[in-house]
Structure 1
C-alpha cells in the first residue's frame, strides 16, 4: 500500500509533461490520393515490370523506416533517409542519435555519419509538385541488402517477379516474389518491402539494469550490470486526459488476432493479452489495450507497420517440424532513437500436443482433466492463454529473466488464498511453468496451478510507463523512478536477475517453481513426478505405438533433471539483488553454508541414487534392449560434472575467503567423494553399473582439472580455469581416494568392485 501511495502522489502533481501530439492516421484496404493526404508522402506505380517511386521534395532528409517481411518470423528493418545529391537520389542509412545521449553507429566503433544503401538516377522531375521519380526495381528485386551485420543471401533473378504495390497516407508497401537459394534449393518466396514515415521522437525512459527491460536494440546483454547509455524498449502511451490519475490513452495498443488462429483458441489468446490491463492501470492508463478478432486480414494490413498481429505458426503442421515443441516468440519493429515499439507481433508456435504434454508432466496428479488425452478445450485454451500472456510481456519490453524467484515461501504453494492473490510465481515472464509443488490432498483449484500476470509484472509496467506531471524536472523524475526501484529493498519478489551464462544461485534457475527452500519444494515435486510416472500406462494404453509413452517419460525425466539443477544452484550460490555500491546491503549474499551442504546431501541421495520408479519403470521392462539410451544416466553424468566445474569451485573458493571459514572447500569435496563412493566407505556389497559409471566420470573430471593448461588470461579463459589452489585440493582428493581404494581392494575378494577400483587406480596413476 505504501508503494501505491507514492505513485498516487506522483500522479497528483501538476499537469503531466506534454508529449508529442502526433497521432498518425492509417488507412487499410485502399490508398489515398495526393489531394486527400494530410501531407505529401511517397507514391508508387508499376510500368512495364518496373516499379517507380515518387518522392516529394518535402520529405527529403526525413527519417523513415525501411522494412522487409519474408518467410521468417522476424521482420528486418532499418532507419533510412532519402537525399538529393546533384542529379541523383540517395537512399542512406544514417547513424542514429539516441535520446539517451549516445550515437548508435552504422557499424560497431565506425565513426561515419551515414552509409549509402542505393543510388538512383532521376527518371522524372515534377517541378510543379516539387517531386522526384526514381526506379527502385533493382532495390526490391535483386539487390542484396545487409539488413544486419553478417546478413547475406543468394538471389536468383530468373525466378524473381514484381507483383504489386499499395500506397497509404504514410506508408508504401511493395510485394515481390524474390528468388533465393534456401537449403541448397532455388525458391521463389513472397517478400513485402515497406517504407513508412517516422513520428517525432517520443519521450523515452532510460535503461536501468535493475529492471527487466530490453534496451532499444533489444539485445538484453548487459553482463557488466551497469546502466549503459540506452533507452528501454516500450510503446508510446500518452494520457488523453492529463489531469486524471487514470486516463484512457490517446492511442491504445491494438492487437489483431489473425484469421489463421483457430476460432476456439481466440478467446483464450485475447484473455492472455488482456491480463495486462490491470498492469497498465497501475501506470495510470485505463483500457490501454485493444484486442480484435478478425475473420479476414488482407496482405497489406498484415504487413503494415501499423498492425500488431497475433499469428498462428503454420510450421507445426509441416512434416519434419510437427514434433518441435516450443511456446512462442515475438517480433518487434523499433525506433532506435527512443526505443519506441512501432509494431509488435506475437507468434503462437506451440502445438496443442506440446502444451498438453508439458502440462501433464507437471500437473496431472493435481488436475483430473489432464489425466487423459486429449484435454478438454477449456484446459488447452487456458494453456494457450499462459503463452499469450508471456509473449505479450515481451511485446511491452520485458525480457525473459528471473523476476522475484527464490523469494516466495515454499510452504504457501498449497495455500489457495495466496495463490489466488499472488500466484505461485510473481511474474508470468518467469519460466516456472505450472505449480507442481502442491499435493493432491491440498485440493488446489486447477485454475490456480497456472502462471498469470502477477505483482512483479504490474510493478515493472508501472516503472516503465508511468507519466510524470508537467513542470517536474528531469532530476525529480529520476528520483521518483529510483524510489520505485527502491521498493525492491522491502519487496523481494520485485527483484530482477539478468539471465547470463553463469547461474549464480537459485534466483537464476528455470523450468521449475522456485521458492525460498529448493530442497523442501523439490522434495514435494518429486512426489508428484512419481505420480506422473504411475499415470503413464493409463494415458498411453490406447496408442498403437510407444511414441507418446516415450515423449512423456522423456519430459518427466527432463523435469526431474531440472529440479536437481535447481537444488544444485544452492551450492556455490548467492542471493542476488542489484544495487549500487553505496547501498547498505550486498548485491551478492552467499547462501548459508548449511543450506549448501544440505543441497549436496540431497543430490547425493536423489540425483546419484535415483529411485527405481524413475530409472526402470515397470512399463519399460521388456520393452527396451541393452543399448537403449538411458536418459537418467545422461543427466546424472551432467550433474556430476556440474558439481566439479571450475566456475562453481571458484565461487566456493571466494566464499571460503569471504566467510573466513577454513576447510570449506575440503569439506565440500570430501563429502562429494564419500557420497559418490559410498560402497567404498560404507562397506556395501556391490554397486550397479550406474554408480560405476558415475565414479569413472568423477575421476576423469578431477584428472582433467589437474591437467588443465590456461590458454590465455581473458575473461572466458579465467571463467573456465581452475586455480592452482583448487588443483592442489583436487590432487589431494585423488590421492586420498586412491589410498582408500587400495585399502578396499584388500577387503574384497575377486569380485567386480575390486577390479573396478583397480581400474580406477590405473587411471589415476596414468594421469599423474
Structure 2
C-alpha cells in the first residue's frame, strides 16, 4: 500500500466561515453604536463591559496535546511520536543549539554500481535551530576552528550547512518544555543520493516524497533513530542514440524490475555526544591512524595550522592500578542476524583476534562480540551499535570498515562493517576447482581496502586468480571439511582487516615486505605469524610454485605492526608524560618489521616507492612479480590440458585464462615503479638522519627493465594452443555474449601499462633528478634516462638487428611504442615533459629510423613483416618531420 507521510498543513477557515465571522462582528458593532440592546440588571449597570477575546491566529501551531492525541511515544534523545502513518520528533527547548552526532546509513539499496545495502553514510556534528516558527537541522562547520579572540572571526568566515527544515508542528508543551516537528522533513534527499544515481546511470533521478515513508523508528537514552524508505524516480528512460556515442554511456539500472523506479532505506540517527569529551591524542605520521583533522586559527604564530587527532574508541581500565584489567566499557561489535549462521564463528574469531594486541597494553577483553537475535525487531545500522553486516549485490565484491567519530576529539562512536558474500562464495569455488592435497604434500597442507577500506575490483581479481590456480593438483568437494576450513579462514582474515579499520588503523602497504620468501613457504611459521607484517595490508594469496612447500594461503593472525599501532592509539598514558611516551613509541618506526606506507604512498605520482604496493607478497616485490608470471604460465599450461566437464560453467575455461592476464597487468604496473623509483622512509625533522627519499639501487632498476624485456614484452610468454582457444565457448543463455577470446588485446593491455610508465613525464623527471639525491662519490653506475630509453627501444625492436620475422604480438607492441614517441615528439607529451627528455627521445627515434630503413632494404621476411616495417618507417619519418616543424 502506498503511504503518504507528507506534512499536513495547519487548518484554515473556509471563506463561508470567515464571512459569517465578519457579519457577526459588524452586527455587534451596529448594536453598540445605535442599536437597542436588552435592558441590563440594575446591579450590573455600573459594571465594566467584558474584554473581547483576542482573535485566533489560524497560522499558529496547534496545542501539543492535540497533535499527538492517540499517538504512541518512544523516549530517547529526541522522543518519537507515531500515529498511523504520521511521525513527529519532539524537540526539548533545552536541546536547541546543542550539538549532537547526526548520521545517515543505508540499510536497503539497489544492489549494483556502488549502491549497496548495509553501508555507512555520512555523519555531521549538527544541531537544531529555531527561527521563529521554522525549525532547522544544521550541520556545523568543524573544518575550521578557533579559540580565544579568533573564535568569532572563524565562525563568521566559514558557513554551516542546512540539511533540512520545516515549520514547527505544535505549540510548546507547558510541562515538558518541548515542541513537535513533523518527521517528514527527513523525507528529502539529505544524503545527496540523486547525484550518486546520476553518476551511476547518467539519469535525473529525484526523491519522490509522496511515496516515501518511515518504515521503522526506535529511541533509547541518548539516541533516536528513524528509518526512511525513500522512493527515487525518473520520468522516462531516454531512447538510445541512433549512432553510438564516442564516449560509452552507462545503461539504466539492471537490478530493478523497472529502471524508472527504485527504493533506498536511510537510517537517520541522532546520537548524544559524550558530556565529558574524551582526551584527544595527536597523530604521528610515522604510523597510520585515521584522524579528525581541522584547521586551527586560534593563533597566528604556528606556520602549520593543521591539527590531526587520531580516531579511537574510549577505552579506560576498570582498575587503573592493575597490570591487566577489564575495561570500564568494552568495544562491542554486534553480528547482524543477516550473517549466515555457518559463518558467524569465523566472523567472531576475526573480531576477537584484536584482543591479543590490547592485552599487550593492559586490557583484558577489550573487545566483545555479540550476536543479534534472529527474531530481533531492531536494525543495528543505527548509531547505537557497532556492527558486522553481510550484503550481496549483482556486481559486488568488497568489504568495507568505516566509522563515525566525535569531531571534537576523534572518539569513535559508531562503526558498521560491511562484508560481501563474494569472500565466502569465491573462496569455496577456489577450493572446488583449484587446490590439490596429494599425499606427497600432506606435511604442507594449505588454507587461506578516502577513510573507508574497499576490497573492490583488485581484491576480486586477486581472488579470481587464486581460485583458478593449481587446478591440475586436484579438486576438493564444496561440502568437504577442507573447503569449510578455507572459507572460514578467508572470512576471518577479511574481518580482522576491517575491524582494524574500525579501531582507527589505516592501510599499511609495506607490511608484506617484512616476511621473507622462505618464511612464506613454511607452514608452521605462517600459521604462527601470518603471511604479512600487518592484517592492514592488501595481501595477495600465498600461492607456492609447483613443487614448492605451501605455507598458509591467507593471514592467520595480527602482525608486529598491528600491535605497534594499537599501542600508540590505546595505551593508557599519564597526561604529563603523554608527549614523551608517544614519541618513544613512534620512534620505533626505523624497525624493519614495522615498515609502514599508506594509500597516499602507494599512489604518490602514480607510485614511486616499489615497496609500497597493494597485493604483493614477500620482502622482494620484484621477485614476487616474476613468480606471478610463472604462476600465470603454469595456470595457462594446465587449463589447456584440462578437459571441460559436462554441466560446468561454460565460461570457466575463458575465466581461468583471463585470470592470469589480470595478474600480469598489475605486475606490469608495479615493476615499472622500480625504474626511476624512490624508497620513502617516514621520519620527523630531527628524529634521525635517515633519508626521507632514497633512489632505488641501479642494479634493481636494470633488473626490472630486464624482466619487462624478457618476460612481459616477449611473445613467448603468451603462447596458446589453437586447439584450446577454439574450444572457449560462450554462455548462450546470456544476451550479451563475448566473441572469440582476444589474446592480442589481452597482451596489449599488459604491455601498454609498462610502456605508459616508462615514457611518462614523472619517470623522466625522476631519472634526471636522481643524481641530485646521491653523493658525488656514489654516482658511478647510476641509471640514466638515456639508458632507459635505449634499453626499452632495443627490447621492443630486437628483431631489427636479428633480421627475423616479427610476431603479431610483437608488431602490436612496436606500434604502441611508436604511439608513445608520437605523444612526445608531436603532441608534446603533456605538461611536465622537459626539453632534455624530448631531445633524448628524438635522438633515439632517429636511430630507430635508420634501423628500420636497413631492415626494409634487407627484405626477405614475410609479407606481413615487410608491410609492418614499411608502415612503421613511414609513420616514424612523418613524426620526425612533424617534430622538426614543431620546433
TM range (shorter): 0.7 to 0.9
CA drift at 1:495:
2.4
Matches of 2:564 and 2:337, distance apart in 1:
33
SS in 2 for 1:511: coil
* Cα deviation, residue 391, structure 1: 1.4
Match of 2:509 among 384, 402, 409: 402
Residues 709, 367 of structure 1: alpha-carbon distance in 2 compared, 3 angstrom cutoff: closer
The 1:648–1:452 alpha-carbon spacing in structure 2 relative to 1, beyond 3 Å, is farther
Q: From 697, 701, 705, give the equivalent of 2:824.
A: 705
Q: 2:874 is paired with a residue of what secondary structure?
A: helix
Q: Which residue of 2 aligns with 1:63?
A: 99
2:878 is the counterpart of 1:766: yes
Q: Distance in 1 between matches of 2:571 and 2:405?
A: 20
Cα shift at 1:734: 0.4
Give the structure 2 partner of residue 10 of structure 1: none
Q: Distance in 1 between matches of 2:594 and 2:474?
A: 30
Indicate yes or no: 2:408 matched with 1:354.
no
Alignment partner, residue 742 of structure 2? 628
Name the structure 2 match of 1:561: 665
Query: Is contact 2:680–2:693 with CA below 8 Å preserved after alignment?
Result: yes
Does residue 215 of structure 1 match 2:291?
yes
**Contact residue 512 and residue 616 of structure 2 kept, 8 A:** no
User: For the structure 1 residues 424 and 579, does the alpha-carbon distance in structure 2 shift closer, same or farther, using more than 3 Å as the test?
Assistant: same
**Structure 2 unmatched ranges of 5 or more:** 1-71, 110-116, 198-204, 235-252, 254-258, 295-303, 431-461, 730-738, 881-887
Shift of 1:482: 2.0
1: CA distance, partners of 2:717 / 2:485: 36
Counterparts in 2 of 1:538 and 1:309: CA distance versus 1, 3 Å: farther
Corresponding residue to 1:724 among 835, 846, 850: 835
Deviation at 1:700, TM superposition (A): 1.2
Q: Deviations over 1:313-335 (max 9, x none)?
A: 132xxxxx1xx352311342222
1:195 lines up with 2:270 in the alignment:
yes
Identify the residue that residue 477 of structure 1 maps to in structure 2. Answer: 578
- Kindly indicate whether the alpha-carbon contact (under 8 Å) linking 1:414 and 1:439 is maintained by their aligned counterparts in 2: no
Tell me, yes or no, if the aligned pair for 1:173 and 1:300 is still in contact at 8 Å: no
Root-mean-square deviation (CA), in Å? 3.5
Give the deviation of 1:707 after TM superposition. 2.6
Partner residue, 1:756: 868
1:123 is paired with a residue of what secondary structure?
coil
Larger deviation: 594-603 or 413-422?
413-422
1:624-661 CA distances to partner (integer Å, 9 max, x unpaired)? 77673542232122222222222122211111443455
SS for the counterpart of 1:305 is: coil
Determine whether 1:81 maps to 2:127: yes
2:274 aligned with 1:238: no
Q: Which residue does the alignment assign to 1:121? A: 168
CA separation in 2, counterparts of 1:725 and 1:134?
71
Match of 2:810 in 1: 691
The answer to whether residue 635 in structure 2 is matched with residue 510 in structure 1 is no
Stretch moving more, 72-81 or 147-156: 147-156
Match 1:654 to one of 769, 780, 803:
769
**What's the counterpart of residue 221 of structure 1?**
none
Aligned position for 1:714: none
Shift of 1:589: 1.1
Mark the CA change 1:370 to 1:507 in structure 2 (over 3 Å): closer, same or farther.
farther
With normalisation by structure 1, the TM-score equals 0.82
Tell me how far apart the structure 2 counterparts of residues 245 and 441 of structure 1 sit (CA, whole Å). Answer: 49
* Bigger mean CA offset, 736-745 vs 620-629: 620-629
- The Cα shift of 1:269 comes to 1.5
Q: Distance in 2 between matches of 1:455 and 1:263?
A: 32
Separation in structure 2 between the aligned mates of residue 368 and residue 378 of structure 1, nearest angstrom: 21
User: What is the distance in 1 between the residues matched to 2:636 and 2:92?
Assistant: 69
Per-residue deviation, residues 595-643 of structure 1 (Å, max 9, x unmatched): 1101111111110115456655863355477673542232122222222
Q: Distance in 2 between matches of 1:390 and 1:271?
A: 12
Give the distance between the partners of 1:702 and 1:206, measured in 2 at CA.
Answer: 49
1:199-231 Cα offsets, whole Å, 9 max, x none, are 13212222333322222279xxxxxxx994121
Answer yes or no: is the 8 Å Cα contact 2:476–2:483 preserved in 1: no
Contact residue 439 and residue 528 of structure 1 kept, 8 A: yes
Counterparts of 2:663 and 2:227 in 1: how far apart (Å)? 46
The CA deviation at 1:581 is 4.0
Which shifted more, 193-202 or 79-88?
79-88
Residue aligning to 1:462? 567
C-alpha change, 1:731 and 1:528, in structure 2 (3 Å) is same
Per-residue Cα deviation, 1:265-300 (whole angstroms, up to 9, x for no partner) = 111111122221212223332211111233426353
Residue number in structure 1 paired with 2:451: none
Question: Offset of 1:263 from its aligned partner?
Answer: 1.4
Corresponding residue to 2:700 among 576, 595, 604: 595
Asked if 2 retains the 8 angstrom alpha-carbon contact of 1:363 and 1:449, the reply is no
Matching of residues 6-405 of structure 1 within 5 Å: 41-47=77-83, 49-70=85-106, 71=109, 72=117, 73-85=119-131, 89-96=135-142, 111-112=158-159, 115=162, 117-121=164-168, 123-129=170-176, 131-141=177-187, 143-145=188-190, 154-181=206-233, 185-200=260-275, 201-216=277-292, 228-296=306-374, 298-315=376-393, 321=394, 324=395, 326-351=397-422, 352-355=424-427, 356-357=429-430, 358-359=462-463, 361-362=465-466, 371-372=475-476, 374=478, 376-405=483-512
**1 CA distance for matches of 2:212 and 2:325?**
50
Separation of aligned partners in 2, 1:104 and 1:707: 55
- Counterpart of 1:743 in structure 2 is 854
Change (3 A) 1:372 1:643: farther
CA deviations on 1:543-593 (whole Å, 9 max, x unpaired) are 444312222222222113323333322111122111134330111111110
- Aligned residue pairs total 701
Which deviates more from structure 2 when the two are superposed, residues 414-423 or residues 602-611? 414-423
Give the direction of change, closer, same or farther, for the CA distance of 1:762–1:114 in structure 2 (3 Å limit).
Answer: closer
> Any idea what the Cα deviations from partners look like across 1:485-538, whole Å, max 9, x if unmatched?
2112133533234333521122222222142x3343333443333333344365
> Do the aligned residues in 1 keep the contact of 2:610 with 2:674 (CA within 8 Å)?
yes
Q: SS in structure 1 opposite 2:137?
A: strand
Partner of 1:11: none
**Matched position secondary structure for 2:836:** helix
What is the distance in 2 between the residues matched to 1:280 and 1:47? 47
Whether 1:668 and 2:788 are equivalent positions in the alignment is yes
* SS of corresponding position for 1:74: strand
Task: From the superposition, tell whether residues 97 and 370 of structure 1 become closer, same or farther in structure 2 (CA, over 3 Å).
Answer: farther
- Contact between 1:277 and 1:289, CA under 8 Å: does it hold in 2? yes
CA 1:147–1:585 in 2, change beyond 3 Å: closer, same or farther?
same
Mapped to 2, the partners of 1:626 and 1:172 lie a distance apart of: 57
